[in-house]
Amino acid sequence: MGFYYENGELVADGVKVRDIVEEVGTPVYIYSKKHFVEQFKRFSGAFKREHLVCFAVKANSNLAVINTFAKLGAGADIVSKGELFRALKAGIEPKKIVFSGVAKTEGEIEYALSNGIFMFNVESKDELYTINSVAKRVEKRVEKRAPISFRINPDVDPKTHPYISTGLKKNKFGVPYNEALELYLEAEKLDGVEIVGVQFHIGSQLLDTTPIYDASLRIAELIRELEKRGVSVSVVDVGGGVGIVYNEEEDKEPSLDEYARQVESAFEGFDVKLVFEPGRFLVGNGGILVSRVVYHKTNVNKKFMIVDAGMNDLLRPSLYNAYHKIEPVVKKGREKVVCDIVGPICETGDFFARDYEIEDVENGECIAVFSAGAYGFTMASNYNSRPKPAEVLVEDGSFRVVRKRETLDDLIRGETL
């Protein structure tokens, strides 16, 4: 992990967090490039057969972060035109980009085709025909058919938070398993598309990867049925979902070696390239959100620690009731208090932790919210007309601002009276 304590001070890869805050201010996201690189190498190195790791841009869309993975040879899993734009700007090769998402528009599809992406993960029959139509319209310009895989919903319960479960038949994602065969046969007849592979993604933050293995076995059966009908695929996209440790007392990181062997064994004997779409696993524990304590407050017996970051900066606790470890940036060995750690947003749901035991940090001092490298800044908003925080990347014992803090003028850019 890129963050650790030395003599009571929180350090990010050799740089004191307090020094970063003194120069950049709060709230601020701080990322460890070393952590990102090590996680990518661990993940990719676990597999023995040919594969491509596509970083899930939705987890952390900062250009410097994406570029870190581009330099390691990664591709990108994107779900919008904007994410495709970011991936290209950050140096991801178009032929390593997969386009997921349930609502791709004609404009997005044309933009992706024009840039020569690896493949579309098709999520409905309607989308299939839209991609086919757009591809035929622009075929002279792009000189190729649209490469597709179908995202299959294997109806496997990932046993994770319901908001991030995506592989059940009640979820909006993917095509039903029992309809997939006919859709592939239908796609074979279309002039504008070329069948490349099959894709599935059953959910996020899985600490037990067995459900991914179960889903892999179902997908392997589908591939066998396709082969019997003369439909071949050269790619199997396993999606993402491998979880991280948020709570050290309760969570246990999945075994990458076990995960790799499970997936590889499920597709043993198939001449296919494996594609993976990790996001949280690569960046989650490589980022912290640092916030300054503004006030303390007691309502009857309830204590509050009020900080200058809010749910607009880090939404996960409010949205999912998600746990994040929170510690002082500088530990002084003071008594601990049990309190709600809350922000300035005018919502009762604006909190980072409830009834949380923490050293009694004084007004003006800083706390760090850990495991904030994934789905942190990327989900931030300007709610309550609050400028978004800065982002900082620590690398080789120094740091640089990779996204400036927004100004008041940024808040109204594009608006008119």
Catalytic residue IDs = 346
C-alpha distance from residue 324 to each of 68, 104, 246, 311, 368 (Å): 25, 33, 6, 13, 10
* Strands 336-342 vs 3-6: parallel, antiparallel or unpaired: unpaired
C-alpha distance from residue 368 to each of 9, 11, 18, 292, 308 (Å): 11, 11, 10, 9, 12
Gyration radius from the chain CA atoms: 23
SS3 at position 269: coil
Query: How far is residue 271's CA from residue 199's CA, in Å, rounded to a whole number?
Result: 15
Using the Cα atoms of residue 370, residue 374, residue 379 and residue 382 in order, give the sign of their dihedral: positive
Task: Report the interhelical angle of 106-114 vs 81-89 (nearest 10°).
Answer: 20
The DSSP line for 326-344 is EEESB---PPEEEEEEE-S
Helix locations, 198-312, DSSP H? 210-228, 256-266, 280-283
Edge-to-edge strand list for the sheet holding 3-6 = 3-6, 9-12, 15-16
Residue 116 CB: number of other CB atoms within 10 A? Answer: 14
The structure tokens 């392997």 sit at: 220
Query: How far is residue 332's CA from residue 59's CA, in Å, rounded to a whole number?
Result: 34
The structure tokens 């989308």 sit at: 127
Query: How far is residue 296's CA from residue 201's CA, in Å, rounded to a whole number?
Result: 43
